[in-house]
Amino acid sequence: MALPFGLEPAAAAFLAVAVFGAAFVRGYSGFGFSALVILATSLVTSPLHAVPVVILCDIVMTVQQARGIWARIDWRRVGTLMLGALVGVPLGVTIITSIGTDLARAVIALFVLCMCALLWIGWSFRGPVGDAGTTGTGFVSGFANGAGVGGLPVAVFMTAQPVAAAVFRATLIAYFTLLDLWSLPIMARAGMVSADTFRATVFVLPMMVAGIWLGGRQFLRAEPQDFRRFALILLAGLATLGLLKSVI
């Protein structure tokens, strides 16, 4: 049986391992799955192939994680973020589907590098952030989710505020789910979803479930801050490789 998106066996094996690693990061820190998978995909094929796949995977992962996070979700923050995302997603999908593969790869890589830099330096707000700031962040997140990397702006936004680790993780996961449920039909309408999308999701599902389970167990017995630094280094490294590939 042919592999999805015309991938060679070696490329498919590489992406399966990448999904496992990205799911482990998601299970541990609450963010990074989509960006890691899309950046890894950009090294072997068009990153846009992976966007609807990671969205489907995100939804499955939330079902797997819901029982352990429900009580810690900041629903007011989630709802305010979604107000901005409702507008941002359609605009982001329209733009990302109108540019070429190399340009899309470069744009995604540069965006991820900027988000990683903000997370690494520990940028923070000097005062409280109101609903307007949260809604604006949701718009940026929704726009970026046209390329499947809408989680990183919210990770930056929440890291810049005093949020407990468990609430941070749970709120991100809940928001990502609503964001993905809104993004998927818009992407399908734009022609980003195909039979290969679902075949690829089934292909990576076992690796994803194993990774998220192991990452969640690790979260229960270790401090997430140290691991988050490792995740940022990994994201920045893959983004740099993707940027080089787009210009060489």
- Nearby residues of 202 by Cβ (< 8 Å), 6 or more positions away: none
- Tell me: the pLDDT tens digits for 166-217? 888 888 888 988 999 999 999 999 999 999 999 999 989 899 888 888 877 7
pLDDT of residue 192: 93
CA 150 to CA 61: how far, in whole Å? 16
* CA 227 to each of CA 134, 173, 222: distance values in angstroms, whole numbers, following the listed order: 26, 17, 9
Q: What is the reported pLDDT for 222? A: 56
Q: How far apart are CA 135 and CA 117, in angstroms?
A: 22
Percent of the chain with pLDDT over 90: 35
Q: What is the DSSP string of 150-161?
A: THHHHHHHHHTS
Q: Is residue 115 classed exposed, middle or buried when 0-12, 13-18 and 19+ CB atoms within 10 A define those classes?
A: buried
How far apart are alpha carbons 106 and 112 in whole angstroms?
10
Give the per-residue pLDDT at 81: 97
Q: Write out pLDDT tens, residues 204-246.
A: 989 988 888 887 776 555 555 666 677 778 888 888 888 888 8
pTM for the whole thing? 0.85
Question: pLDDT class for 3, splitting at 50, 70, 90?
Answer: confident
Q: What is the pLDDT of residue 221?
A: 59
- Chain-wide mean pLDDT for the chain? 86
**Which residue in 50, 82, 54 sits closest to 174, CA to CA?**
82
